[in-house]
Structure 1
């Protein structure tokens, strides 16, 4: 594929965001239109007066991916007061998977930085202000200061709320209005009581007209009848709770709050340190939680790897890794079993994917990412190896394009190099299956004639979406994968 540049318009928060990428350069930049001009004159009266229209544009937090809800400012390439030219990088933003440079569509002066480096902001929120001339810089700084003050304002309002806790002392007066149902019950008006409460009143000979209801809108409950009859409430589980229940009847909200407080604030462990998630870790956490809603099943299959190990020793000097060989074998097996390459994203239908894109799980500093070998079934192992090296380099530099980590149709996770015998991988959202590969180890096996021999075997575990893939389909795929691995000459064709 020849090196070329492309521009794709994406609808983001507010304006359109245009991505420009070049295959020849690892850096990626985002062309960001800066909008929301604030003019000095407004109305017909201002139109008649020769007012100066100040062109101050807000730099927004861009949406760098479809799943991004907020971004983190890695660093500001430019400082306040620097003059910017159209297409020049302004800031580096960390998305859920990668870091991207943000460029501007306009010339101007970076008048104020609203969100400093190291802090996060939701998509579409202003992170900086761009002035057209130097005369507008003070106005932009004043606008930025007003925006920054408008954000801490709620924080300053929350401390005054504790004094306003004295105000909740009047709320005990609402129970006094609750006493109004007493007057209602004493009058000739209709008595509101539950059917069971009426039954208990007849059994215990309680005049229901003299009972004060504690239910909603003064409704008489069975506990009110039992209290009027002098019957202690029976609690079979624990005796202390009856002693507690009479107390919270009046301040029940505070009791609920005190009950929730211990669950919310657990005692800290001595010597522990709280480290917040990075943007990448937060994205991984969200995907893992989403995967719990998918019904999955797991199938293990032993595969003999003597022939694959021999092939690996031949192609290793040429830069081919075992991960690439496994990805190529999985892609060839998926070509014969397209249902395993299918995906279900909406829970109502599934999609047969024409492309076989093998995503490979890679642990990087601060998280986990899955670079994608696109069209892995159509490329030879040497070209796949070169692409895999480029993807690894981009992954460690956090320079992957969105289509290079979000277009996978099948995932391979290999922990065999660490000596792991077997493990179960978590299915990524939107994919049909993920294959976990363990280590290849010498194993004693017996042939059909009863003779023993030692062969290298590895255990492959596949986690599949049971809504679209069934046991027979997955078993057939694993058998085909095992045949390719045990006779890997087809991998070099």
Structure 2
């Protein structure tokens, strides 16, 4: 019989297209490589997660790398398939997605700061001009943890609970969310309690979305507001007032199991609270009875021009009372 006709040649795979929203998302090494190879990142698409441009995409655009992988060929209709079925084989598991930036890509390279990272660096340098001091406090969290477990199905987050707790405590200690005047000659007492919470950005740096009126807003609304703020922070669509209007900051590393840390004071504020993870700890109560309690460490960094040590300690005492008796967070 005559040999079967040759399969038609497949067209070359199309290069990935730039993102429809016009944003350019690239790994740090891809950005550096694009400068070296003079490739316009806005003109190419990425094969990484969410359209992120990788070093391979840049090399391909510069003509120095292999073509993008071709899409799977479509299956022919059933009536056109060979009569003899191929022996059944177990399907190979799907390969996991490649990481956006590998360790080998970063080794031996110099990666420039993003604009956000530059802003963070500038703020850190400004903080060196402030006479800071630090106060630590241990707080039992069993009741707070129980409340969180109860309210989590209703969309309440631990961030909302902590922000609300800080808001209620700050309302009793206005000096903690006050700020030194630009000339250092006085103190400005803020009217509203706006709690900023540090959020790490996927491409480096961090941003501090602000939960406004944290003392007056209920935890359900705070949770909804916070989810929206984080979503828009990571898509870089926050308005300036939504990340630069905080007058007290929370930096929470508890989810990483950190036991204690000191946070750097953001310029234009007088206090930042470092929240560590809670862990089971042997504790003696007032009557001397020994038991196991979940305990977390809080470290507050404050501007000594505005806040004095006793004032910081009194604020942390109030915050301890709120967290260890969290029923007030529901109102």
Aligned partner of 1:274 among 110, 115, 121: 110
Aligned partner of 1:299 among 127, 135, 142: 135
Name the structure where strand makes up a greater proportion of residues: 1
Deviation at 1:359, TM superposition (A): 0.2
**Contact 1:345–1:429 (8 Å) recurs in 2:** no
After superposition, the Cα gap between the structure-2 partners of 1:383 and 1:273, relative to the gap in structure 1 and judged at 3 Å, is same
Aligned partner of 1:289 among 100, 120, 125: 125
> For 1:460 and 1:302, how far apart are their aligned partners in 2?
6
Are 1:476 and 2:310 an aligned pair?
no
Deviation at 1:449, TM superposition (A): 2.6
Q: Residue by residue, what CA displacement relative to the aligned partner does 1:50-105 show, whole Å, maximum 9, x if unpaired?
A: xxxxxxxxxxxxxxxxxxxxxxxxx9x9xxxxxxxxxxx9x9899xxxxxxxxxxx
**Contact 1:371–1:404 (8 Å) recurs in 2:** yes
Q: Which residue of 2 aligns with 1:327?
A: 163
Paired residues in the alignment total: 236
Q: Which residue of 2 aligns with 1:443?
A: 281
Are 1:429 and 2:267 an aligned pair?
yes
SS in 1 for 2:188: coil
The structure whose RCO (Cα within 8 Å, separation 6+) is larger is 2
> For 1:457 and 1:480, how far apart are their aligned partners in 2?
16
SS in 2 for 1:438: strand
> For 2:245 and 2:293, how far apart are their aligned partners in 1?
37
Aligned partner of 2:176 among 329, 332, 340: 340
SS in 2 for 1:442: strand
> For 1:381 and 1:364, how far apart are their aligned partners in 2?
24
> For 2:40 and 2:170, how far apart are their aligned partners in 1?
45
After superposition, the Cα gap between the structure-2 partners of 1:407 and 1:449, relative to the gap in structure 1 and judged at 3 Å, is same
After superposition, residues 9-408 of structure 1 pair within 5 angstroms as: 272-346=108-182, 347-365=184-202, 366-408=204-246
> For 1:461 and 1:371, how far apart are their aligned partners in 2?
20
Q: Residue by residue, what CA displacement relative to the aligned partner does 1:184-209 show, whole Å, maximum 9, x if unpaired?
A: xxxxxxxxxxxxxxxxxxxxxxxxxx
Deviation at 1:321, TM superposition (A): 1.0
TM-score scaled to structure 2, two decimals? 0.68
**Contact 2:161–2:329 (8 Å) recurs in 1:** yes
After superposition, the Cα gap between the structure-2 partners of 1:117 and 1:279, relative to the gap in structure 1 and judged at 3 Å, is farther
Larger radius of gyration: 1
Q: Which residue of 1 aligns with 2:67?
A: none
The runs of 4+ residues in structure 1 deviating greater than 3 Å are: 91-94, 116-119
Q: Residue by residue, what CA displacement relative to the aligned partner does 1:251-278 show, whole Å, maximum 9, x if unpaired?
A: xxxxxxxxxxxxxxxxxxx951011111
**Contact 1:341–1:353 (8 Å) recurs in 2:** yes
Deviation at 1:426, TM superposition (A): 0.4
Query: What residue ranges of structure 2 are gaps of 5+ in the alignment?
Result: 1-17, 26-38, 43-105
> For 2:210 and 2:316, how far apart are their aligned partners in 1?
21
> For 1:295 and 1:283, how far apart are their aligned partners in 2?
21
Structural RMSD (CA): 2.4
SS in 2 for 1:406: coil
Aligned partner of 1:453 among 260, 281, 291: 291
Deviation at 1:349, TM superposition (A): 2.2
**Contact 2:160–2:222 (8 Å) recurs in 1:** yes
**Contact 2:24–2:41 (8 Å) recurs in 1:** no
> For 2:174 and 2:135, how far apart are their aligned partners in 1?
18
Query: What residue ranges of structure 1 are gaps of 5+ in the alignment?
Result: 1-74, 78-88, 95-115, 120-269
Q: Which residue of 2 aligns with 1:410?
A: 248
> For 1:345 and 1:289, how far apart are their aligned partners in 2?
19
TM-score scaled to structure 1, two decimals? 0.46
